[in-house]
Amino acid sequence: MKLTFIFFVLATASSVLASLDRPFFVGLGLLKSRIPRFITNLEHPYVKEHQRAIESLSDPVQFFCYPEPQQRALLPPIPDDIFKKLSLDDEKWDHTVKTLSGFLECPLAIQALEELQVEISASPDKYHQPPAKVFPLFTRLFKEAVQLKTLAWMDPHPEWDSFNTTSALHKYLTDQQLNFPSITTLILGPNAEFFVSAAPKVQKISSAPGFAWSWSGFNSLSRDENGPQRRLVRSLGSAKQLEAVDLDFIFIKDSVVELVKAAPGVKTLSLGDLSNEGRQYGEAGRDNFKAILLELAKLESLTVFSLPHVDLLGISSFPQSGFKCGNAYFGLEGTKFGRIETLQDIRETEEAADIVLQSLPQLTKLCIRECAVVKAGKIVQWPWTGRLKDYVLQYWPRYDGMDSGDGVKEDPDGSVLDTWEDDEEWFPTSKEHRIDEL
């Protein structure tokens, strides 16, 4: 009798709460949300902006997936791109299953999906393996989403080879003989190169952003012929319509040779670290950089080329020192030190650009962290051209002492660098000079 009474009280309380202000009590965690996971995973501004109103609907799935005029009148019109992108970035596999299952039961969603981003961060061990039904759900999604153009597959735990989700999916999709005829863009994490051969119309391939490609354990594999970096590079050879490549990881000369062989018709190329984690510098580093560029010169269709910060090109006179302690930039002296450092980076960037254009004069755009317009093998304009002082002050404004509370304020009419002589050296009166001519 007591248990029955308790359940009656709880049910009554829940009903009362719902009738008062359901969205408010959902926010407090006192009521379960009616909005299914696949709708919240859309991460669309419309869902976020109208979340309270959606929560008040008796059936949000009916509203989004099987619209009726009278129900649609309850909210502003749903944007046409509401189902354009789906993100699966769950921490638990059962959440992924719920999201996929809900999405697959929504005809409008399947028909409209163009971008799919997958990053399941469930722990990759024998106790957290993906359930048997998750791969069939992915397979069904891949088959039915006929408008899918962009696929981003990022495995946050690629180092766990024995329990690797990406490797398991590879085997499953291979057994299913699945391909992706509509995909034009792939954004891939380690071990996901198998998607390339399954996407015959892919035009752009990028390495996935984030930690997976950059952690130190993976960096060492860039020198391994069978490492994930080199495997992804070689996989480009199966992409016959490939035009753009963006691979932000360490490249050695051998992997550049493989890249040129695999993607001879590429028009846009972006590469990561060419300094072999700072091992290349001085004359040897410059020779290595020039040798890499000689290989890239074989890419006759290349017109847009992007490189990372000049420190990662291996052409510095000294070993890469890494990031300086934040204390080096404190106070007025630290601000002026930062300005000098920026000017030195600009000088080295312009020198590096000249080296690049000696091998790749056909470029129309060159980026070495910052981008420059190129015409007839010459730099026409950098972001700092004709406004070097303003450019430096944009990154290192006049010091006002607000951050450190030291009470020191920089004279707005004083020298930008330590002395007026330094200003004269770095900021000549003529605005036609290149900084590396000074």
CATH number assigned to the domain comprising residue 166? 3.80.10
State residue 270's pLDDT score. 97
Does residue 108 form part of some domain? yes
Does residue 402 form part of some domain? no
Say if residues 125 and 163 touch (Cβ distance below 8 Å).
yes
State residue 19's pLDDT score. 46
Mean pLDDT, the chain cut into blocks of 10 residues (438 residues total): 51 49 50 81 88 86 82 83 89 84 93 91 60 88 95 73 68 87 94 93 92 66 82 95 95 94 97 77 85 96 95 75 64 92 93 95 96 93 94 94 77 93 82 50
Does residue 17 form part of some domain? no
Q: Which residue has tokens 């430096």?
A: 392
Number of structural domains the chain divides into: 1
DSSP single-letter state for residue 423 = H
Q: Give the phi and the psi of residue 340 in degrees, each rounded to 5.
A: -60, -40
Does residue 111 form part of some domain? yes
Q: 352: domain range?
A: 36-315+344-384
State residue 16's pLDDT score. 46
Does residue 256 form part of some domain? yes
Does residue 349 form part of some domain? yes
**Residue 105, both tokens:** 């039961």
Say if residues 225 and 184 touch (Cβ distance below 8 Å).
no
- Cβ-count burial 75-107 (b if 16+ within 10 Å, e if not): eeebeeebbbbbbbbbeebebbbbbbbbbbebe
Does residue 24 form part of some domain? no
Distance CA 380, CA 377 (A): 9
Distance CA 100, CA 260 (A): 39
Does residue 332 form part of some domain? no
**Residue 38, both tokens:** 């696949």
State residue 120's pLDDT score. 73
Please state the pTM of the whole predicted model: 0.85
State residue 232's pLDDT score. 94
Element housing 335 (H / E)? helix 331-359
